[in-house]
Structure 1
Amino acid sequence: MKNVLIINGHQRYDKIAEGRLTKLFVDTAGDFFTQHGFNVKESMVEGAYDVQDELDKFAWADYILFQYPVFWMGVPWITKKYIDEVFSGGINTVTFVSDGRSKEDPSKKYGSGGLMQGKKYMLSLTYNCPESEFDNKEGFFDGLTLDEANVATHKLFQFCGAEPLETYAIHDVFKENLDIDAELKRFKDTLERNFITSR
Structure 2
Amino acid sequence: MKNVLIINGHQRYDEVAEGNLTRMYIDSASEFFEKNGFNLKYSVVESDYDVKEEVEKFVWADYIFLQYPIYWMGVPWITKKYIDEVFSAGDHNGLYINDGRSRSDPTKRYGSGGLMQGTKYMISLTYNCPTSEFSAKDGFFDGLSLDEANIATHKTFQFCGAEPLKTYSVHDIFKGDLDMITELKNFNNVLEKNFIDAK
Does residue 12 of structure 1 match 2:12? yes
- Partner amino acid for 2:75? V
Q: Distance in 2 between matches of 1:71 and 1:52?
A: 27
Task: Give the TM-score of the pair, scaled to structure 2.
Answer: 0.99
Does residue 122 of structure 1 match 2:122? yes
Q: Distance in 2 between matches of 1:30 and 1:177?
A: 25
What's the counterpart of residue 86 of structure 1? Answer: 86
* Identity among equivalent pairs (%): 67
Q: Distance in 2 between matches of 1:176 and 1:56?
A: 40
Q: Distance in 2 between matches of 1:75 and 1:81?
A: 10
- Partner amino acid for 1:121? Y
What's the counterpart of residue 108 of structure 1? Answer: 108
Q: Distance in 1 between matches of 2:94 and 2:167?
A: 24
Spell out, residue by residue over 1:64-93, the C-alpha distance to the aligned partner (whole angstroms, 9 max, x if none): 001000000000000000000000001001
What's the counterpart of residue 43 of structure 1? Answer: 43
- Partner amino acid for 2:175? K
1:170 Cα offset (Å):
0.3
Gapped regions of structure 1 (runs ≥ 5): none
- Partner amino acid for 2:23? K
Spell out, residue by residue over 1:47-73, the C-alpha distance to the aligned partner (whole angstroms, 9 max, x if none): 110001101110110000010000000
What's the counterpart of residue 67 of structure 2? Answer: 67
Q: Distance in 2 between matches of 1:10 and 1:94?
A: 25
Does residue 55 of structure 1 match 2:55? yes
Question: Which contiguous aligned blocks of 4+ residues in structure 1 show a shift greater than 6 angstroms?
Answer: none
1:94 Cα offset (Å):
1.6
Corresponding residue SS for 1:91: coil
Within-5 A mapping of 1:115-194: 115-194=115-194
Q: Distance in 1 between matches of 2:86 and 2:97?
A: 14
- Partner amino acid for 1:77? W
Corresponding residue SS for 1:110: coil
1:189 Cα offset (Å):
0.3
Task: Give the TM-score of the pair, scaled to structure 1.
Answer: 0.99
- Residue correspondences, number: 199
